[in-house]
Amino acid sequence: MPSRRFFAILIPWVAAIAAAFFVSLHLGRVSTDLTRLLPRGDAPEEQLLLGQLREGPATRLILIAIGGGDTQGLAAISRRLQAALAADPAFSLVENGSLRLDDPRLEALFPLRYLLGPDAACREDLRGVRLRHALQARLRELSGPLPPPDKNRLAADPTACFRALLQSWRPATEPRRMRGVWFTRDGTSALLVAQTRAPASDLEGQQRAVNAIRSAFARTAPASRASLTLTGPGYFAVGSRDAIRAETTKLSLLGSLLVLLILWAAFRSPWLILLGALPLASGILAGVLAVQGLFGYLHGIALAMGLTLLGVALDYPLHVISHARFGPHPELGGIWRTLFLGVLTTALAYLALTLTDFAGLAQLGVLATTGVLIAALTSRYLLPPMIDAVPRRKGERALGLALSIRMPAPERLGLFLGGVASIILLVVLTIHGLPWETDLRRMSTVPAADIALDQRLREELGAPDVNRLFYQWADNPEQALRRQEQALPALEALVAEGRIQGFEAAARYLPSTETQGRRQARLPAAESLEADLEQALQGLPFRRDAFAPFVADVAAAKGAKPATLASLGGTAAGAEVASLLIPAEKGWLSLVPLIGLDDGGQSASIPPPGMHYIDLAAASSGLLDRFLGETLAKLEISAAVIWLVLLVGLRDLRRLGRMLVVISLALQLDLVVIILLDGRINLFHLVALLLVLGLSIDYSLFFTRPGQTPDERATTFTALVLCALSSFAMFALLGLSSIAVLHAIGATVAIGIALAFFLSWLLAAA
Amino acid sequence: MSFGQTPKGRSKQLGLGSVLIGLLLSSPTFAAPPGDLSELMAQLAEVRSVSARYTETIQVSLLEHGIESTGTIRYVAPDTLIELVDGEPPREIRIQGDRVRISEADETHEIDVGEHRAIESMVAALRSVFTGNLVELERHFHVRFERLGPGKVGDGWHLTLTPDDAEVAWLFSRIEIRGSGREIHRIEIREPNGDSRTMRFEHQEIDSPDG
């Protein structure tokens, strides 16, 4: 049992950690939105891109496929599921392709038909001989083999204006329809699309929506063989959060257990093991609080990566404890200078991240730098008196001495190996090309198979390419719609020329108030319509008063208030308009997604006057390119600073040279192994390499410590073995994960640790 | 979102009435009056082909009086139906499997039955009448079978089909088929708003193993 002095420090320390934890929870908005990692773009193009990525209506889509069963059974489930979800307030729209002519949502549009519908059936047919032709057409339909589907509306709509309106809204491409609902082309799965009200970044909302779909499916398809498949950005976000949460918990529990075993083998004291954990906990909480204080929120990914980078801080207490317990001199004087140099250089490397204008990376930098410094300071000033207060056991030094094996190697070997590693790296880079991952989607945490499935369903549903579009800014919806109306002829011309197969535009669904006003003026006055109708009815078998509702509706439409975004309400058209006309900070953004663009690389030159072209995929990969470039540039600066600090701190060029050989060898070989294993280098690999940098500085610094007695060397060696073993155990477990992010980080760091440790041992041991 | 029945503006009417006629025409030859519905279905399954003249009357509330049309119809097992509507020019409606072809003068349109829920449901369910598939029929409709006499040849019977599906019921609330012994007298399709269409048949020529 330690003395009272131990608890006199422990209790306030743990209390401070607990307090910090609660403050952080209280402050704590943790954001999990991937796009927040990216910079706040200044150019409207980047704003557009980020807006699309963040909240765009396309990100609120959940694609649903129901497979496993006969067509009829699947269609029936699709109908019941559609009905159940449409009634759920979590969804703004649920479509399965069924033609529900009595859909109550359509009723809201019926009175608006003369303002929204196409010219021919909704205005031109209301006069003179054209009205008579329309009536004759209806008569033919009524006497045909099947009554027209809008038969019940004909009294109020004899020119079939509403039918023509809905026809004009029909999407350019539609999925195959079987048993009246959407199916995949091979007919094996029924398809539905649900749009959530919650944005994709609202994971709780997305989770509720996904749960609603699952439970509705369980209710509508009880005891059937049918299976439910979901894809979509929100669904993936929920899934990856859950998967990462579960996997991280499992692996870190296992990892902690392993580390505990290793430390137990070394220290044989629960109190010392506790001391090993306290600086790391303090560092993490200090880093989190610093980020929350500076940024107002903490990004989930910054937190996860920050915890990774702070892996290096586990080493500090291990060095301190090892030297205090096993070393010949209990006081820290000797190693503090070495440790301090390691801390300083690692902190400098991490600090470089804060210089980027990518918010997520800046957070990561602040978190890691603060964490490393706090962990080092607490190790230095709080641990020693506490270690002293823990009673020594007999034979405590045995382990340290037993592990002391020297591996002397000729100095030239390092240079030789360095040269070989550089050549290998060059060869690998030549074969693989520049392996930076610039595709945002592939950087996501979603398994590749799910992304492929998502793309297939999107294609089946005939969704337009959301990556390539025209856009335009306006001060208000009316202005946006008017500008779009002016561009419509040019857009139609592009279709006619075959440059694009089609396009979507808000003005197609919702004409501007100005246009609607002109249309109202063109509607016939009641007296004139009545006269024309009487003329048109001559000799036809319709009842004289059959079309009184028609006359009343035209008169009402002539005096009605023009339709707005709100009038389209919960209809598919309303959802479409809402996704194409988006309120933003600096005004209204109208989007014109292009279908089947065949540009031959000339896309930038084809937008109609006043519109701009953007390829979101190209823009996002450009952004990521810039991001990686910027990160690397900052790392070059920090590498120079680190080199200077080491030079000043060590005042020993030879030692510095040996260290640099080890560090660069470890990083280069690690990079080669990652490229060979994963094919590409992504952001997560890069962050993991930063940790490897920090660790290899630490290992090489300690291995190259000059002027040590054999006892001191043995102690240093023991400490390094403990550091490397425990970190390796932790990250090697992560590397076994099937989740790409965890695997990337774990494998990179574990391989890096092994390389840095053995290279330091081999090449740097003084 | 649209009314699927009218792609590309021009109204393409599917011969649903004709489907019904064909299906029912295929069924009037009874070796003996059916003792119950399953017996009726078993007999229907044996019909190989039917042809007949028909008269159709359409009652619509918008019209002062009903509209009448006449034509010829021919059914060949298992799934082909050809209707020729009298007129100048005559209109031909040909249904084969899931494809529907409508020809009038020089114009021809094709429709996939599977695109339209109500039609597909009707075609599938009524086809099961003449293929004698009672299980399939009852999946789509509530079926009521009624004998109008003591059960001898020439006594009447009455079949009422009520669609289970709301989307189908929106177009058709009820289909009533009346016959007696070897003859179908009429088919009446009732719509929810009270409109109806009624078809009467004569000069039926039926080819079945025992007919």
A339 versus A466: the higher-pLDDT residue is A339
Residue B211 lies inside a defined structural domain of this protein: no
- CB spacing of A141 vs B167 below 8 angstroms: no
| Chain B residue numbers touching A133 (CB-CB < 8 A) | none
Among the listed residues A513, A532, A516, the one whose alpha carbon sits nearest the alpha carbon of residue A524: A532
| Nearest-angstrom CA–CA distance, A643 and A514 | 68
**Higher per-residue pLDDT: B183 or A361:** A361
**Which residue shows structure tokens 């937008």?**
A607
Domain membership of residue B60 (yes or no) is: yes
Taking CB atoms and an 8 Å cutoff, what residues of chain A touch B17?
145-146
- Structural domains of chain B, count: 1
Kindly determine whether residue A546 and residue B62, on different chains, have CB atoms separated by under 8 Å. yes
Segment (H or E) for B58: strand B49-59
pLDDT greater at residue A353 or residue B182: A353
Question: A145 vs chain B: nearest CA distance in angstroms?
Answer: 5
Q: How many other CB atoms are found less than 10 A from the CB of residue A341?
A: 19
Nearest Cα residue to A262 out of A718, A736, A702: A718
Nearest CB to B13 within list A145, A572, A573? A145
On whether residue B186 sits in a domain, the answer given is yes
> Closest Cα of chain B to A690: distance in Å?
53
Identify the top-confidence range among A78-92, A677-691, A706-720.
A78-92
* Cβ-defined contact of B62 to A142 (cutoff 8 Å): yes
CA distance A483 to A589: 11
Do residues A140 and A90 lie in contact, with contact meaning Cβ atoms separated by under 8 Å?
Answer: no
B146 φ, ψ (degrees, to nearest 5):
-140, 135
A481-527: per-residue pLDDT in tens?
999 999 988 888 888 887 887 888 899 899 999 999 999 999 999 99
What pLDDT sits at residue A757?
Answer: 92
CA-CA distance, A133 to A122, in Å (whole number)?
Answer: 14
Residue B1 lies in a domain: no
Please report the pLDDT score of residue A208 as a whole number: 92
Closest C-alpha among A150, A169, A165 to residue A119: A165
- Name residue A356's amino acid: T
Nearest CA-CA distance, residue B23 and chain A, Å: 15
Residue A470: pLDDT over 60 = yes
CATH number of the domain where residue B32 is located: 2.50.20.10
pLDDT score at A123: 93
Residue of A100, A138, A143, A544 for testing the chain B interface, max B β-carbons within 10 Å: A143
CA torsion sign, A564 to A566 to A571 to A572?
Answer: positive
The per-residue pLDDT for range A47-100, each reduced to its tens digit, is: 665 565 556 667 788 999 999 888 878 988 998 899 899 889 899 888 888 765
Structure tokens at A125: 């047919």
Q: Is the pLDDT of residue B29 over 50?
A: no
Please give the pLDDT value at position B35.
Answer: 56
Closest to B166 in 3D by CA, of B132, B100, B106, B118:
B118
- The residue type of A573 is A
pLDDT average, residue stretch A539-545: 91
Q: How far apart are CA A69 and CA A77, in angstroms?
A: 10
- Please check the confidence at residue A131 and state whether its pLDDT lies above 90: yes
Q: Token match 């001391």: residue?
A: A275
Beta-sheet pairing, B156-163 with B49-59: unpaired
Contacts of A145 in chain B (CB under 8 A): 13-18, 83, 85, 93
* Interface mutation vs chain A, best among B61, B113, B117, most A CBs within 10 Å: B117
Q: Tally A–B CB contacts below 8 A.
A: 118
In angstroms, how far apart are the furthest CA atoms of chain A? 120
Closest partner residue to B1 (CB to CB) among A148, A166, A177 is A166
On chain A, the residues whose CB falls within 8 A of the CB of B62 are 142, 154-155, 542-543, 546
Tell me how far apart the alpha carbons of residues A128 and A564 are, in angstroms, rounded to a whole number: 31
Residues with Cβ within 8 Å of residue A521, at least 6 apart in sequence: none
Region A11-23: what's the mean pLDDT?
91
Residue bearing the bigger pLDDT, B166 or B30: B166
Given phi > 0 = left and psi -120 to 50 = alpha, else beta, which region is A708?
A: beta
Three-state SS at B91: strand
Q: Give residue for tokens 């669609």.
A: B163
In the chain, the amino acid numbered B60 is V
First to last CA, chain A: 38
Burial of residue A393 (CB within 10 Å: 0-12, 13-18, 19+) is exposed
Higher pLDDT, A31 or A40: A31
Return the closest-CA partner of residue B160 out of B129, B182, B206, B135. Answer: B129
Kindly determine whether residue B170 and residue A102, on different chains, have CB atoms separated by under 8 Å: yes
Contacts of A738 (CB under 8 A, 6+ apart): A247, A447
Distance from the A564 Cα atom to the nearest Cα atom in chain B, whole angstroms? 20
Nearest Cα of chain A lies from the Cα of B32 at a distance, in angstroms, of 32
Please enumerate residues of A whose Cβ is less than 8 A from a Cβ of B.
72, 79, 95, 98-102, 137, 139-152, 154-155, 163-164, 166-167, 169-170, 177-181, 541-543, 546, 571-573
User: Does residue B5 sit within a domain?
Assistant: no
Q: For A147, which residue in chain B has the nearest alpha carbon?
A: B13
Searching chain B, which residue's CA lies closest to the CA of residue A151? B171
**If 0-12 CB within 10 Å is exposed, 13-18 middle and 19+ buried, where does residue A612 land?**
middle
B65, closest residue in chain A (CA to CA): A541
A628 pLDDT above the threshold of 80: no
**Contacting residues of A for B4, CB less than 8 Å apart:** 99, 149, 177
Strands A502-503 and A612-615, how do they pair? unpaired
Asked if the Cβ–Cβ distance from B69 to A573 is below 8 Å, we say no
DSSP A443-482: HSSS-HHHHHHHHHHHHHTT---SSEEEEEEESSHHHHHH
Q: Residues A759, A666: contact at Cβ < 8 Å?
A: yes
Q: Which SS3 state, helix, strand or coil, does residue A230 take?
A: strand
pLDDT at position A449 over 80: no
Indicate if the pLDDT at residue A716 is higher than 70.
yes
Find out whether A138 and A183 touch, Cβ atoms under 8 Å.
no
pLDDT digits (tens, 9 = 90+) for A369-409: 999 999 999 999 999 889 888 887 766 654 555 555 555 55
Q: Which secondary structure element, helix H or strand E, spans residue A493, and what is its range?
A: helix A477-497
CA distance B14 to chain A (A): 6
Nearest CA in chain A to B164: A76
Best residue in A139, A146, A544 for a mutation probing chain B (most B CBs within 10 Å): A146
* Residue A157 predicted with pLDDT over 80: yes
Confidence of residue A430 (pLDDT cuts 50, 70, 90): confident
**Tokens 């009246």 sit at which residue?**
A180
pLDDT at B3 over 60: no
Q: What is the mean pLDDT of residues A580-589?
A: 80
Tokens 């060979």 locate to A676
State the Cα–Cα distance between residues A661 and A415, nearest whole angstrom: 7
Task: Identify the domain containing residue B166 by its residue range.
Answer: 16-206
Strands (E), A225-327: 227-231, 298-299
Predicted local confidence at residue B158, as pLDDT: 83
Looking at residue A763, its pLDDT comes to 76
Ranges of CATH 1.20.1640.10 domains, chain A: 409-438+652-766
Whether B13 sits inside 8 A of A151 (CB atoms) is no
Using a CB–CB cut-off of 8 Å, the residues of B that contact A are 1-7, 9, 11, 13-18, 58, 60-65, 67, 69, 83, 85, 93, 114-121, 139, 166-167, 170-171, 191, 193, 195, 197
Coil/strand/helix, residue A592: strand
Smallest Cβ distance to A541: which of B9, B64, B121? B64
pLDDT at A35 over 60: no
Strands (E) across A187-282 are located at 189-196, 227-231
> Under 8 Å CB-to-CB from A703, ≥6 apart: which residues?
A662, A716, A720, A760, A761, A764, A765, A766
Residue A36's closest CA among A199, A196, A201? A201
Stated as kind and residue range, the H or E segment containing A373 is helix A359-381
Which residue of A79, A163, A178 is in closest CB contact with B114? A178
Contacts of A193 in chain B (CB under 8 A): none
Residue of B nearest to A106 (CA): B1
Residue with the bigger pLDDT between A244 and A18: it is A18
Q: Do A146 and B2 touch (CB under 8 A)?
A: no
Q: Beta strand pairing status for A612-615 and A61-67?
A: unpaired
Cβ distance A180 to A192 under 8 Å?
A: no
Nearest CA in chain B to A105: B1
A566: confidence class by pLDDT, cuts 50, 70, 90? confident
Question: Which of A675, A473, A723 minimizes the C-alpha distance to A585?
Answer: A473
| Within-domain flag for B28 | yes
pLDDT at residue A604, rounded to an integer: 56
Partner residue facing B115 (CB), from A144, A169, A177: A177
CA distance B96 to B15: 12
pLDDT at B10: 33
H/E stretch holding A696: helix A683-703
For residue A103, pLDDT over 70 is answered with no
Q: How high does pLDDT run on average in chain A?
A: 82
> Would you say the pTM of this structure is higher than 0.80?
no
pLDDT of residue A464: 60
pLDDT above 70: percentage of residues in chain A = 85
pLDDT at B23: 46
Are the beta carbons of A145 and B170 separated by less than 8 Å?
Answer: no
Q: What is the mean pLDDT of residues A28-50?
A: 59
Kindly report, residue by residue over B112-132, the tens digit of the pLDDT: 666 666 666 666 655 666 566
Question: For residue B205, what pLDDT is reported?
Answer: 80
Average pLDDT, chain B: 70
Query: Is A163 within 8 Å of B65 when comparing Cβ atoms?
Result: no
Class of domain A409-438+652-766: mainly alpha
- Choose the weakest-confidence range: A144-153, A295-304, A535-544, B34-43: B34-43
Indicate if the pLDDT at residue B69 is higher than 90. no
Residues of chain A with pLDDT > 90: what percent?
A: 25
CA distance A633 to A615: 27
Q: Which residues of A550-582 are buried (b: 16+ CB within 10 A; e: fewer)?
A: bbebbbebbebebbebebbeebbbbbbbbbbbb
Residue bearing tokens 């719609």: A481
d(CA B38, nearest CA chain A) in Å: 23
Q: Above 70 in pLDDT, residue A101?
A: no
- What is the per-residue pLDDT across A182-214, written as a single tens digit (0 to 9) for each? 999 888 999 999 988 887 777 788 889 999 999
| Residue A760 pLDDT | 87
Tokens of B50: 């039917």
Query: Two tokens at A623?
Result: 């952004």
- Residues B82-100 have pLDDT tens digits of 888 888 788 888 877 777 7
Which of B3, B9, B85 has the CB atom closest to A150's CB atom? B3
Asked, for residue B6, whether it belongs to a domain, the answer is: no
User: Residue A286 gets which letter from DSSP?
Assistant: H
Nearest by CB: B4 against A99, A143, A151:
A99
Contact state of A151 with B65 under an 8 Å Cβ cutoff = no
The DSSP secondary-structure symbol of A105 reads H
- Cβ neighbours for A304, distance < 8 A, ≥ 6 positions apart: A244, A248, A741
For residue B14, the chain A residue with the least C-alpha distance is: A146
Query: Residue A263 — pLDDT band, cuts 50, 70, 90?
Result: confident
ipTM confidence score: 0.76
B contacts of A163 (beta carbons < 8 Å): 3, 6
Instruction: Specify the pLDDT at position A160.
Output: 92
Residues A545 and A534: their CA atoms lie apart, in Å, by 10
Arithmetic mean of pLDDT, A627-636: 76
The answer to whether residue A451 scores a pLDDT higher than 60 is yes
In angstroms, the CA A505 to CA A507 distance is 5
